[in-house]
Chains A and B, each alone.
Chain A
Amino acid sequence: MESRIRLNKILLLVMFSLLSLLVLLPFYAIALASFKPGKELIRFGLNLQLDFSIMSLDNYVFLFSGQHDYFTWFANSMLLTILQVALTLITSAAVAYGFTAYDFKGKTPLFICVLMIMMVPFEILLLPLYRLIFNLGMMNTYSAIILPGIASASTIFFFRQYLLGVPREMIAAGRVDGASEYGIFLRLILPVMKPAFAAMGILNAMGSWNNLLWPFMVLSNSNKFTLPIGLKTLLTPYGNNYDLLVVGSFFSIIPIFILFVMFQRYFIDGMTAGAVKG
Chain B
Amino acid sequence: MIQRFLYSQKAAPYVFVLPFVLVFLVFWLYPLASSVEMSFQKVMLGQSAQWVGFDNYAKLIDDSMFLKAVMNSVIYTVLTLIILIPFPMLFAVLINAKFMWGRELFKSVFFFPALTSVVVAGTIFRLMFGEMEGSLINSFLAMFGVEPVKFLKGHATGFVALLSLAAWRWMGVNILYFLAGLKNIPDDYYEAASIDGASTFQKLRFITIPLLKPTTIYVLTISIYAGMAMFVESLMLWNGNNSPQNIGLTIIGYLYRQGIEKNNLGFAATVGLVLLLVTMIINLTQLALSGLFRKES
Contacts and interface: CB of A to CB of B under 8 A. Distances in A.
Interface of A: 5, 8-9, 12-13, 15-16, 19-20, 23-27, 29-30, 33, 41, 43-49, 91, 94-95, 97-99, 101-102, 104, 107, 110, 113-114, 117, 119-132, 134, 147-151, 156, 180-182, 185, 206, 209-213, 217, 227-228, 231-232, 235, 237, 245, 249, 252-253, 256-257, 260, 264, 267-268, 271-272, 274-276, 278
B144 interface: no
B45 to A, nearest CB: 6
Interface string B116-142: 111111011111101011111011000
B27 interface: yes
Contacts of B27: 125, 129, 132, 147-148
B13 interface: yes
A98 B13 CA distance: 5
Contacts of B161: none
19 contacts: A9-B100, A16-B94, A16-B106, A47-B139, A49-B134, A101-B13, A123-B229, A124-B229, A125-B35, A127-B38, A127-B255, A127-B265, A129-B27, A132-B31, A231-B123, A252-B120, A257-B115, A267-B111, A278-B218
B16 A274 contact: no
Nearest to A87: B19
Contact of B259 (A20, A130, A249): A130
Contact of A180 (B7, B117, B130, B176): B7
Contact of B117 (A107, A123, A212, A235): A212
Contacts of B19: 91, 94-95, 150-151
A94 to B, nearest CB: 5
Of A29, A46, A235, the most chain B CB neighbours within 10 A belong to A46
Contacts of B31: 125, 128-129, 132
Interface stretch (B64-72, B77-85, B231-239): B231-239
Q: Report, nearest first, the 6 A-B pairs whose CB atoms are least far apart.
A: A98-B16, A45-B135, A210-B117, A128-B31, A46-B127, A102-B13
A5 B200 CA distance: 13
Contacts, number: 278
B32 A125 contact: yes
B76 interface: no
Contacts of B111: 260, 267-268, 271
Given A46-B124, A95-B16, A210-B119, 15 more contacts: A12-B100, A27-B112, A30-B127, A48-B136, A98-B16, A102-B12, A120-B32, A120-B279, A127-B259, A131-B265, A132-B30, A134-B46, A267-B111, A271-B111, A275-B181
Interface of B: 7-10, 12-17, 19-24, 26-28, 30-32, 34-35, 38, 43, 45-46, 91, 94-95, 97, 99-102, 106-121, 123-128, 130, 132-136, 138-139, 168, 171-173, 176-177, 179-181, 184, 214-215, 218-219, 221-222, 225, 228-229, 231-232, 236, 239, 252, 255-256, 259-260, 265, 268-269, 272-273, 275-276, 279-280, 283
Contacts of A249: 119-120, 123-124
Contacts of A134: 45-46
Contacts of A126: 252, 255-256, 259, 272
A47 B124 CA distance: 11
Contacts of B45: 131, 134
Given A20-B109, A212-B119, A121 B279 contact: yes
Nearest to B104: A264
Decide if the interface of chain A is mainly helix, strand, loop or mixed: helix
Given A94-B16, A120-B279, A147-B23, A127 B106 contact: no
Contact of B38 (A16, A128, A260): A128
Given A23-B168, A126-B272, A271 B123 contact: no
A97 to B, nearest CB: 6
Given A23-B172, A124-B275, A124-B276, A213 B117 contact: no
Contacts of A119: 279-280, 283
B171 to A, nearest CB: 8
B124 A260 contact: no
Contacts of A33: 127
A113 to B, nearest CB: 5
Contacts of B276: 120, 124
Contacts of B265: 127, 131
Given A125-B28, A147-B23, A210-B118, A47 B136 contact: yes
A25 B127 CA distance: 13
